[in-house]
Structure 1
Amino acid sequence: MDEASATAGERTGDGVIHTRALTKRFRGGQLAVDGLDLTVPAGSVFGFLGPNGSGKTTTIRMLMGLIEPTSGTAHVLGRPMPRATRAVLPYVGALIEGPALYGFLSGRDNLLRLDSADPTADPRTRRARVTAALDRVGLAAAAGKKAKAYSLGMKQRLGLAAALLQPRRLLVLDEPTNGLDPQGMREIRALVRELASDGTTVFLSSHLLDEIEQVCTHAAVMARGRLVTQGAVTELAAGIRGRLVVTTPDPADAARVLKERGVADVVVDEDRVTGEPPEGELADLNAALVAAGVRVRGFGVERATLEDAFMALTGEGFDVAG
């Protein structure tokens, strides 16, 4: 696949990734992905969000041609998968279900071996590209260390370095911050933003709502194998009402007044009292708190988050660590 044909395929409006009714049912009847219609815009950082077991990795494996769908279609860079796997994958960097490494080789030698297996890679620039990739993910100092001695976070970094050995049109990352400490998470998220600014489309699977909100321009939410919603991150929670938040040293009294005034789902958490914003003028509610002797230190409605949107759309909880 040449650059012109690939770009032409993306100009059809179908996006860098486009699926239609994509379905995967495993032997035994388990329905892992159910009728997925997904569109990933070119140049986006696209968050693929859902609890563990929601069908994210199965979807990615179909997109990369690793498994065939039971029904439906998937196009990557304008070409059908898995039929066009050989033409598409040289333009795609991927880190799926953790990196596959040779434990007896150093980090550098792992990358050298992986690069030498790529028929499109120029052997004359191999060592320079490996060095640059290691430096980009913060592994330059550990390049000579055997991979079996790497921590989980270091292995994740090495897998990401492998995906970055060549310039990529699309980068597919499955839980890229898994096993990283907070500083490592920040560094990888910064790298994702940098790659996107260079024009690479990044498809990032995660169960961390926090991660998606911090780095993604677009997102899709999966639950039990089905697509719940997709769109620009700024718009996904736009239709969801935020939470009323009252900060006070008198939380019990505040909770009582809010309930009396018709506020639903009142929750007390130390000096914070939250609830569903009522219809009507919020200033009147604040005045009622003050009139009842509640010392109000903070009063307002917090913007709805992806977590709020997910709860509203599915009624389910979510792992929001990150």
Structure 2
Amino acid sequence: MTQTQQQPAAGSPLVTRGLTKRFRGGQVAVDSVDLEVPAGSVFGFLGPNGSGKTTTIRMLLGLIAPTAGEVQLLGEPMPKAQLRVLPRVGALVEGPAFYPFWSGQANLLRFDAADSTADPRTRKARAGEALERVGLSNAAGKKVRAYSLGMRQRLAIAVALMQRRELLVLDEPTNGLDPQGTREVRHLIQDLAGDGTTIFTSTHLLAEVEQVCTHAAVMSRGKLIRQSSVAELRAELRPRLVVRTPDLGIAAETLKSLGVTDLKTTDETVEGDAVELPIEKFAAALVAADVRIHGFGLERPSLEETFVALTGEGFDVAQ
């Protein structure tokens, strides 16, 4: 699904139309973005650093005003309805800020006390459950000033989990986490989605999309380049026929005669876009041409290659 001006699907918890943000001097940080997040999805908001992801998220939550366009959260207009909507939304935006000389648990209790919709009778129990879910039970009494960046990131997620949320907005939730912590947060996101929470998570890590997300949108230089389900993206990746052989010239000519396009040769490999022929037809033609085959098969491009092709920019594939 590409950007359209169609009516949002019933129950879409997050929708934007023409969302735009210009800063002083005319700099356009976000340019006419149309987003639609399906209910119950884990939606990856993907793009290189500086592509406009955080600015978009801040507008979604009413933290900054858009220059133009509309935002609907949980069926309500933002920021007009933020007092009704935001208690139903959990959020982690940019670097988490806490009282450094208070413990992690004390911070959670203080944040919850500031929420007029929170039940004070269950506050301590809910704090304990949230800390356990993010793996900070053993550090609950430790001062936040002694927390690592990764621990602070987990604590920020715990704040968002103090109450059941219909929508969870996470801006780079694995930032600062070690590989083990990253895996734990991924499992946490999957568990929350399994409970019916819609997750909207921004990231510049392709692994987040490939391993966790059901849907994705790609930002580049403030523009929304593409949005669809991850399954649709994978289905559109055209396989490449790859032949490893010392007979590059003969192999290339043979594949060309069968309609293989975009042929490329490197070292002892020739590859190209496969046509609609059974793979055994290619193998038989190469054998008939006396091509010595050291390796042969179809390789599907990765999501990384697809996103780089869409944006012309690199992504971080670490973790």
For the superposition of Structure 1 and Structure 2, which TM-score range results when normalised by the shorter chain? 0.7 to 0.9
* Counterpart Cα distance in 1 of 2:179 and 2:298: 29
1:307 aligns with 2:300: no
* Counterpart Cα distance in 1 of 2:61 and 2:263: 46
Which residue is equivalent to 2:273? 277
Secondary structure in 2 aligned to 1:132? helix
1:13 Cα deviation after fit: 2.3
8 Å contact kept, 1:108–1:143: yes
Which residue is equivalent to 2:10? 13
Indicate how the Cα distance of structure 1 residues 308 and 12 shifts in structure 2: closer, same or farther if over 3 A, else same.
closer
* Counterpart Cα distance in 2 of 1:193 and 1:257: 49
8 Å contact kept, 1:221–1:229: yes
8 Å contact kept, 2:242–2:272: no
1:314 Cα deviation after fit: 3.0
Which residue is equivalent to 2:57? 60
* Counterpart Cα distance in 1 of 2:264 and 2:105: 55
Indicate how the Cα distance of structure 1 residues 235 and 110 shifts in structure 2: closer, same or farther if over 3 A, else same.
same
* Counterpart Cα distance in 1 of 2:174 and 2:300: 26
* Match among 153, 159, 163 for residue 162 of structure 1: 159
TM-score (norm 2): 0.88
8 Å contact kept, 1:243–1:274: no
8 Å contact kept, 1:230–1:236: no
1:25 Cα deviation after fit: 0.6
Q: Which amino acid aligns with 1:279?
A: V
1:97 Cα deviation after fit: 0.4
Structure 2 stretches lacking a partner, 5+ long: 1-6, 257-261
* Counterpart Cα distance in 1 of 2:160 and 2:194: 17
Task: Map 1:179-218 onto structure 2 (within 5 A).
Answer: 179-218=176-215
Which residue is equivalent to 1:293? 292
Q: Which amino acid aligns with 2:18?
A: A
TM-score (norm 1): 0.87
1:124 Cα deviation after fit: 1.2
CA deviation map 1:17-68 (0-9, x unaligned): 0111110011111101101111001111111111111111000000000000
> Aligned residues, how many?
304
Which residue is equivalent to 2:121? 124
* Counterpart Cα distance in 1 of 2:9 and 2:186: 30
8 Å contact kept, 1:257–1:288: no
1:150 aligns with 2:182: no
* Counterpart Cα distance in 2 of 1:50 and 1:257: 41
1:289 Cα deviation after fit: 5.7
Secondary structure in 2 aligned to 1:28? helix
Which residue is equivalent to 1:72? 69
1:24 aligns with 2:21: yes
Question: Which deviates the most, 109-118 or 57-66?
Answer: 109-118
What is the root-mean-square deviation in Å for CA atoms of aligned residues? 2.3
Q: Which amino acid aligns with 2:220?
A: A
Q: Which amino acid aligns with 2:189?
A: V
* Counterpart Cα distance in 1 of 2:230 and 2:248: 32
Secondary structure in 2 aligned to 1:238? helix
1:280 Cα deviation after fit: 6.2
Secondary structure in 2 aligned to 1:183? helix
8 Å contact kept, 2:251–2:270: no
Percent of aligned positions with the same letter in both sequences?
A: 61
Indicate how the Cα distance of structure 1 residues 198 and 112 shifts in structure 2: closer, same or farther if over 3 A, else same.
same
Structure 1 stretches lacking a partner, 5+ long: 1-9
8 Å contact kept, 1:277–1:301: no
